Amino acid sequence: MVIPIISLLFSALASTANKQTNRTMEHNMKAKKTLVAFFSRAGENYAVGNIAEGNTRIIADMIVDETGGDIFQITPETPYPEAYAQCTEVAKLELAAKARPAIKGDAAVEDYDTIFLGYPNWWGDMPMPVYTFIEKHCWQGKTVMPFCTHEGSGLSGTEHKLETACQGAALLKGIALKGATAQNERARAKESINEWLSKL
């Protein structure tokens, strides 16, 4: 009977420690002014079909739930095509041209300490409207945490591109989650997000 009791005690202690870690993380994030800025696209997407809510949007909402941060969606003035194949072709042309599509609205990055920056992986890079948003602002002294949705390509080195684009910012370790996980396994996605946040 001694071993099961010890095991139960260790489980209880581990659970308490996890709860304390989560509370500490939440307190630290809320003590600083936090922004969750992201680009996401609904419509027809690879691996998940036609979706009403974009994969990256789902992850952004989870981060907001955990951090209490403000949220801003990077939205191009000219929407991308609904059809997946057409959208990828437009995105490919924009990437080749290093286009900076006009976006709707803005968020005052300069007013925040911490910025979570989210995007889908398009052709091994961030969608061009994300660069439009980045280049509007001064990132000196900010802390940037990238998060990305994909279907096999991960972050594809976009962290290094952010180091160049967000001059003067401290870039922390990012996270990449499959869009299919965001759409169809939300509890698993949330667990991954919480684990990532706890290590920042």
In this predicted model, what pLDDT tens digit does every residue of 121-152 receive, in sequence order? Answer: 999 999 999 999 999 999 999 999 999 999 99
Phi and psi torsions of 111, nearest 5°: -85, 0
The pTM is what? Answer: 0.85
Backbone angles phi, psi at 44, to 5 degrees: -80, 125
Mean per-residue pLDDT for 79-102? 98
pLDDT at 79 over 90: yes
pLDDT-based confidence at 5, cuts 50/70/90? low
Task: Dump pLDDT digits (tens) for 154-184.
Answer: 999 999 999 999 999 999 999 999 999 999 9
pLDDT per position as a tens digit, 35-62: 999 999 999 999 999 999 999 999 999 9
Query: Which residue reads 């260790």 in tokens?
Result: 10
pLDDT digits (tens, 9 = 90+) for 7-41: 544 454 445 445 554 554 455 555 689 999 999 99
The pLDDT of residue 31: 62
Copy the structure tokens of residue 73.
């969606």
Q: How far is CA 90 from CA 38, 87, 173, in A?
A: 19, 5, 30
151 SS3 class:
coil
Instruction: Please state the domain extents for the chain.
Output: 1-31, 33-199
According to the model, what pLDDT value does residue 13 have? 46
Q: Is 101 helix (H, G, I), strand (E, B) or coil?
A: coil
d(CA 191, CA 127) in angstroms, rounded, equals 26
Which fold would CATH assign to domain 33-199? Rossmann fold (3.40.50)
pLDDT of residue 19: 52
